[in-house]
A and B are shown apart, each in its own frame.
Chain A
Amino acid sequence: MQKQQWNRIQTIFNDALEIKVPDQQQAFIQKAAQGDQALIAEVNRLLEQFSEADQYFAGFEQHLGQSFTPKASNALPDIPQYAIIDRLGEGGMATVFLAERQDGKLTQKVAIKLLKKGLDTEKIIQRFESEKQILATLKHPNLAQIYDAGVSQEGQPFFVMEYVEGLPLLEFCNTNCLSIEQRLDVFEQICVVLQHAHQNLIIHRDLKPSNILVTTTGQVKLLDFGIAKVLDAQDPLITQTGQVLLTPGYASPEQLLSEQVTTKSDIFQLGILLQELLIGQKPVNFGKSPSDWAHRLNHYQPPTLKNTWQNLDKTTQKQIAQQRAQKTNELTKIFQGDLGNIPLSCLQADPTLRYDSVGAIKEDLRRYRVNLPLMARKPSFGYQLRKFVRRQRVAVVFSGLLALSLLGGIVATIWQAQVARQNQHQAEQQQQRAERISEFLIKMFRSPDPRHPQGQGKDVTVKDFLGKGVANLESELKNEPALQLELLGIVSDLYDNLSYYPETKVLEARLLPQYKKKYGETSRQYLRSKLRLIKATYQLGQAPQADSLYQGLIQSYARQTSTEYAKILNEYALFLQTAKGNFPVADSILAEAEKIYIQQKDTLSTHFADLLSNQGSLKNVLGQLPQAQSYHQRELTISKKISREPIPIALAEADLSTVLQKLGKLTEAKKMQLKSLKTLEKILGEDHIHTIHALNNLAVIYLRNFDLVNGERVANRVLNLYQKKLGDRSYETGIAYLNTVIYLLRKNKYKEALARVDSAKRILDKTFPPGHYLNAVPLFAQSLIHSKNKQGNQALEEAKQAEKLIKPSIPPGHYYWGIVYLRKALAYQALGQMAQSLDWAQKSYQNLQKTLGDRHYNTQNAIALLVKLYQDNEQMIQSKVFQAKLIQKK
């Protein structure tokens, strides 16, 4: 049929279809066809056939749909060891059955959740295997425990769970007319079990009211714990059907956006739960499709209890009040009060703005009930700005305007969000404030005056214009001390972040008394400021002052066992480690801090991760590598669970990588380090201190892999970066010098090598007290150089000095001793005293082989020496044995 003809027919056909009354329809066709009988006949034929066609395609589509799922059988499934009694319910993904486990003697009622066919069984089983341990050990009276899992005779995966008889949460509360107080009690029960799970690093992911049952004795039982994780992850099929789409009203924003799910998602869902529990209305409705979600999330403001209540009509309000055995005006009062802050803080779109942990929610609940002010506070401007500013890669700024619109935009958005939550009067104040803040930030980042000779086409360093910014802030905000303090705090943050320690110290010293005055000596802000000040102090080489400052702080917090105190202990321990080399004390202090965190049940926080990081580093230095690995692994796991921040994760990876490298797991170490570096470089920039540290680790990995070309390249780059960044006052630069010496030695450039060691020594002498073990490291290098240069006496002298230095703090089994022995051996070799040399070489090998393994370059050096010595001594067999252990380098 010709296209034109068809088009004409269709048009009439479709128009006719729209006319329902047959007479009118015919009349229309007559008119439209303009008397063309063939046309009229055709149209009528089509109309006749249309209902058939309609039916046919309906059936077709049904079959099409069914192609993707086989028919669900109504027969009861066959699962060995369990007798299925009844079907309890059905969901999109699984059917739940009541069953009896027959164990021979005992019969126990259980619930079996059988997954429907068509899901990826292999993957699910695999995932369950890995989760099973955790899920099975997650025992709590308020959790429906998972006993077992397997695959049915038909190949369907299933879970066996505790059978719980009870009503779903909301039904229970409404049927029994629980009051607000009583509902809070129930909610608290839920919090307790959730906290327990989070402690065990398990996120629920699917907290909705139907997943929470209440038994007849009033006991709360959470179902499906952790199952959602087994079912989702990589397989989008299941994520979509099991999570987001079947219960869209309960998903958190990050789940909708398919971003990483953390404990904060659970907290969001708790917020939804709480709100529904209290006021009977679901607080969020993100809509039905991703376009909806995207749109609504952009404009999302969590609704307050107050507003929600006010927007209800009287009848609904009455109904809700009845279900709570309270009067409407009672409820009005309650919902207008502080209670609303709790769900509000849970329901923030930005996970970092939510409560830190379930424990924090519990705490606020407690405070609400004893009428204390809540900690859940609307996020302050300073906090928002700080977050924003910290994210910027502020390296070198060229003269010329930065993209200010971005900056302005963000500040404006923050302001808008704030305004929506506050009343008009405050809103006006905030608006002015926001405008002033953006004004200042713009000023701070504005290009220097082009008329000024310095500003013409010259690169301005961050330091310079931050300094300018500070000056501006101080002069222009004289009459607004609060604002000034906040902004200066941000700048100090920046200084610290960029490792500008002199500036940090100066600024922070000025701010500290102001914090004291404004917030009090025991406030968080004061503490933060103080800690930053102390850190700057010792980074500037004033270790004794720092020490006494720390001790002062510890004393004043000593009686408290709060996490604040733990934080201080953590920093002090780090200081002791690096600045004083006092490991045993540091170790015990860290242990004490760890106890506090555990006691406070605050083990899912960045501070605890910091602590673990320090403990890992300490164990690393002490040579206790398996423990170090365990600590860093925990640090990494926690960092991943609690936030999406890539940097803590990258740092944990970098630390873990170092340990792996020392354990000889070089491929893993390299992979992890490169990954970490990628993140750090991308976000923080190449010249951020963290990035350089990570780069340094990479250099060591190359060295251990005997990849000398890359090793030298990176080591030199690291040296450059440290020099630029920290100058000659930091020990990192000193170590960086030393790390390049090896490559110079390979090329027999002894003079240069010595010169470098000298530079290193000068720095280390300045930065560490005379007895500090790190002063031994340049001596190692010097001894080595002198040995190679046949200056045996000097070499021996230096080796002995090194030995003296490490004796007090380095434990006997540590590999530093192996190196000392090796240096001695080399010195004796240079002196021609072969027997002595051999003796020490053997001792060295014994130590290094045990501590570093045969493949480490230090051990290889010992082996090479032994080969030579045995050869010279004509002990050919031994020589051959060791020769075999040598790795051929490229």
Chain B
Amino acid sequence: MTYQEQSNITELLQHLSEDDSGGYQQVFSQVYKQLHQIAQNIRFRWQGDLTLNTTSLVHEAYLKLIGQKSLRVESRRHFFAIAAKAMRQVLMNHAEARMAQKRGGKNLPVDIANTPLNVQMTPEFAEELLDLNEALKTLEEVSERQSKVVNYRFFTGLTLEETAQLLGVSERTIKRDWNSARIWLYQHLKQ
């Protein structure tokens, strides 16, 4: 990445509001490159391989993206928001493709082989993912912060503590959000 690109992204992120979809697209493509790193983060969380704080990988991605060593919170928050969106997108694409594959269709919505991530899932899980996606959309309308907690946790692998730090609220608040979110989603999924 050139110096120019780096500073552009920094500017973008620093001016980016969550609703600015134009800027988001630009950064998205850059973020997309770092997604495999985020994927590792998610993977390691659940394999319990690391005794380390798992944000490290995502941080690395971010730091690399920005090329700086210390950053203002504003930008980090935007980065994670974007990263989560991106990862979610990737997973949902895969899930759809997987379902289509199972059905034996010739027109796959996404070329599975051609993504930057090595993602594999069973058709059953693909369906679960897609259902979750829908349920999450409804949650977003009810509580923005709760949906954020879910997004960060599932799609960037952040812990509750890290999410709390990122959003600037107490860990207890985030824990409660996580509880609420899960019960809401569960209700919707089981319907």
For the complex, give the distance between the alpha carbons of A66 and B124 in Å: 13
Structural contact, A257 and B46, CB atoms closer than 8 A: no
Structural contact, A56 and B186, CB atoms closer than 8 A: yes
| Residue B183 at the chain A interface, CB threshold 8 Å | yes
| Residue B59 at the chain A interface, CB threshold 8 Å | yes
Chain A binding surface, main DSSP class: helix
| Residue A395 at the chain B interface, CB threshold 8 Å | no
Closest to A1 in B: B142
Structural contact, B60 and A240, CB atoms closer than 8 A: yes
For chain B, the count of residues having a C-beta within 8 Å of the partner chain is 52
| Residue B118 at the chain A interface, CB threshold 8 Å | yes
Known: A65-B42, A236-B37. A13 touches B56 (CB 8 A): no
Closest to A7 in B: B143
Closest to A70 in B: B120
Closest to B150 in A: A57
| Residue B113 at the chain A interface, CB threshold 8 Å | no
Structural contact, A92 and B182, CB atoms closer than 8 A: no
For the complex, give the distance between the alpha carbons of A69 and B119 in Å: 7
Q: For B121, give its contact among A67, A117, A294 (CB under 8 Å).
A: A67
| Residue B19 at the chain A interface, CB threshold 8 Å | no
Against A, the Cβ 8 Å flags (1 = close, 0 = not) of B154-191 are 10000000000000000000001001101111110100
How far apart are B28's CB and chain A's nearest CB, in angstroms?
A: 18
| Residue B15 at the chain A interface, CB threshold 8 Å | no
Give the segment of B63-71, B78-86, B103-111 that binds chain A: B63-71
Interface residues on A, range: 35 or more
Structural contact, B52 and A61, CB atoms closer than 8 A: no
Complex contacts, A50 vs chain B, CB 8 Å? 179, 182-183
Known: A56-B186, A241-B40. A65 touches B132 (CB 8 A): no
Known: A53-B186, A67-B121. A14 touches B176 (CB 8 A): yes
Structural contact, A290 and B59, CB atoms closer than 8 A: yes
Complex contacts, A290 vs chain B, CB 8 Å? 55-56, 59-60, 63
Closest to A11 in B: B176
How far apart are B155's CB and chain A's nearest CB, in angstroms?
A: 9
| Residue A472 at the chain B interface, CB threshold 8 Å | no
For the complex, give the distance between the alpha carbons of A257 and B122 in Å: 38
Complex contacts, B40 vs chain A, CB 8 Å? 68, 237, 240-241
For the complex, give the distance between the alpha carbons of A46 and B50 in Å: 33
Taking CB atoms and an 8 Å cut-off, the chain A residues in 61-75 that contact chain B are: 61-70
Complex contacts, B180 vs chain A, CB 8 Å? 10, 13-14
| Residue A708 at the chain B interface, CB threshold 8 Å | no
Known: A13-B179, A13-B183. A237 touches B36 (CB 8 A): yes
Against B, the Cβ 8 Å flags (1 = close, 0 = not) of A2-15 are 01001100100110
Taking CB atoms and an 8 Å cut-off, the chain B residues in 70-101 that contact chain A are: 70, 91, 94
Complex contacts, A56 vs chain B, CB 8 Å? 186, 189
Taking CB atoms and an 8 Å cut-off, the chain A residues in 544-568 that contact chain B are: none
B70, B128, B153, B182: which has the most chain A beta carbons within 10 Å? B182
Structural contact, A61 and B154, CB atoms closer than 8 A: yes
How far apart are A389's CB and chain B's nearest CB, in angstroms?
A: 24
Complex contacts, A240 vs chain B, CB 8 Å? 37, 40, 56-57, 60
Structural contact, B70 and A294, CB atoms closer than 8 A: yes
For the complex, give the distance between the alpha carbons of A70 and B36 in Å: 15
Closest to A53 in B: B186
For the complex, give the distance between the alpha carbons of A69 and B132 in Å: 21
| Residue A888 at the chain B interface, CB threshold 8 Å | no
For the complex, give the distance between the alpha carbons of A6 and B176 in Å: 13
| Residue A26 at the chain B interface, CB threshold 8 Å | no
| Residue B34 at the chain A interface, CB threshold 8 Å | yes
Complex contacts, B128 vs chain A, CB 8 Å? 60, 63
Taking CB atoms and an 8 Å cut-off, the chain A residues in 255-314 that contact chain B are: 257-258, 288-292, 294
Q: For A64, give its contact among B53, B56, B154 (CB under 8 Å).
A: B154
For the complex, give the distance between the alpha carbons of A14 and B94 in Å: 35
Complex contacts, A63 vs chain B, CB 8 Å? 121-122, 125, 128
Q: Which residues of A contact B (CB under 8 A)?
A: 1, 3, 6-7, 10, 13-14, 17, 46, 49-50, 52-54, 56-57, 60-70, 92, 117-118, 236-237, 240-241, 245-246, 248, 257-258, 288-292, 294
A selection of 28 A-B contacts at a CB cut-off of 8 Å is A6-B142, A13-B179, A13-B180, A14-B180, A17-B179, A46-B183, A49-B183, A50-B179, A53-B183, A61-B154, A62-B46, A63-B121, A63-B125, A64-B42, A65-B46, A67-B120, A67-B125, A68-B118, A70-B120, A117-B118, A236-B34, A245-B56, A245-B57, A248-B52, A288-B52, A288-B56, A289-B52, A294-B69
Known A13-B180, A257-B69; further 16 A-B contacts with Cβ < 8 A: A49-B183, A53-B182, A54-B182, A57-B185, A64-B91, A65-B44, A68-B39, A69-B118, A236-B36, A236-B61, A237-B36, A258-B64, A288-B51, A289-B53, A292-B53, A294-B69
Q: Which residues of B contact A (CB under 8 A)?
A: 34, 36-37, 39-40, 42-47, 49-53, 55-57, 59-61, 63-64, 69-70, 91, 94, 117-122, 125, 128-129, 132, 142-143, 153-154, 176, 179-180, 182-187, 189
Top 3 A-B residue pairs of the complex, sorted by shortest distance between their CB atoms: A65-B46, A53-B186, A289-B53
